[in-house]
Copies of this chain bind each other. A is one copy, B any other.
Amino acid sequence: MTPEHENPPARRTYSYLGPSGTFTEAALAQVPEARDQIWRPVRNVGEALTDVVEGRSDAAMIAIENSVDGGVSTAQDALATMPGLRIVGEYLVPVNFVLVGRPGATLADVSLVAAHPVAYAQCLQWLLRELPEHAHLPAASNVAAAVGLVDGESDADAAIAPPGILEHHDLELLASDIGDNKNAVTRFVLVSRTVAPVPPTGADKTSLIAELPDDHPGALLELLEQFSTRGINLSLIESRPIGDALGRYRFVIDADGHVADERMADALMGLRRFSPRVTFLGSYPRADRAINRYPQRYSDDVFVEARDWLRGLISGEPGA
């Protein structure tokens, strides 16, 4: 009953954080399958994911991590608590910011700076150095912060925005390249309803969220060992409070490899046996296409050989 099977083939719908011009839209533009389909702008990550769960969209593009501010908490928490979702792709968008004001404004006039909190964090060193006494007015999106200046809805004196904003709005450029890290990127994931993972490419990533069985440091050690003892590197490990009490965490993890790899399947089963709650978010190709590296002793054939050997032991084969 997916749109693809209708006649003529219905177009697919992709939800993303709007309005037009956001970094999220730039991420969606990287998806070949999304071309000429319906792009549905939404106002928060919960709405984007609910669109998918309830069938209004086929997939949602959401920001999940950036290199300066870390994991996007609301996205991580939504994935941890909304069932029926699966990550199917990963996309990187370089992040670059300008400071803009109303026409005629100068940097010396700026006291209140509108910015999405993540963008604000990415420019904080610059702001503390250049505008040490500024105050921060959080905005709902990178674009909204700037638009608010010109439509009179905002009291801010300046806004942090993507450079492209100057092409669409009548704004004064107060400073360029104000991000603290010139190599900053934001990582986005494309999320669909639960489906079988795409086949492994050799350059894959597996995302999951796991809770610890109880509150002691050994539990986190044991969680990490599920991966390290199978030669699996983790590219992301973030703690998020479960929310019921101080000191209770779930861990958001990106592991190198695919659930179809023997070592990853074995690690996931180990994790499942250990953790009171594991959410598998998906195995999908890495945005950077970097081939997964691992010691030879964790290759698929070693796992297969050990299974055959065990079978021989149990059957009493003389050669085993």
Residues of A within 8 A of B (CB): 43-44, 46-47, 50, 65-70, 73-74, 77, 84, 86, 116-117, 121, 124, 128, 132-140, 153, 155, 180-181, 183, 185, 187, 193-197, 213, 216-218, 220-222, 224-225, 227-229, 232-241, 243-247, 249, 259-260, 265, 268-270, 272-274, 280, 297-298, 302-303, 305-307, 309-310, 313-318, 320
Contact = CB atoms under 8 A, between A and B. Distances in A.
Contacts of A274: 297
A317 B194 contact: yes
B314 A259 contact: yes
Nearest to A117: B117
A217 B228 contact: yes
A51 to B, nearest CB: 11
Contacts of A68: 241, 243
A62 B45 CA distance: 28
B316 A195 contact: yes
Nearest to A302: B273
Given A44-B135, A128-B50, A259-B314, A221 B217 contact: no
A104 B258 CA distance: 55
B124 A74 contact: yes
Given A138-B138, A224-B224, A270-B306, 11 more contacts: A47-B133, A77-B121, A116-B138, A138-B140, A187-B246, A195-B316, A213-B297, A238-B239, A260-B314, A269-B306, A273-B297
Given A140-B137, A225-B221, A233-B216, A240 B273 contact: no
Contact of A73 (B74, B84, B121): B121
B196 A67 contact: no
Nearest to A213: B297
B183 A67 contact: no
Contact of A313 (B245, B259, B316): B259
Given A140-B137, A310-B265, A314-B197, A224 B217 contact: yes
A225 B235 CA distance: 20
A318 B194 contact: yes
Given A43-B136, A74-B124, A313-B268, A229 B225 contact: yes
B221 A128 contact: no
Contacts of A314: 196-197, 259-260, 265
Contacts of A302: 273
A274 to B, nearest CB: 7
Contacts of A269: 303, 306-307, 309-310
A246 to B, nearest CB: 5
Nearest to A239: B238
Nearest to A135: B43
Contact of A220 (B70, B232, B237, B245): B237
Contacts of A139: 137-138
A77, A155, A217, A302 interface centre (most CB from chain B within 10 Å): A217
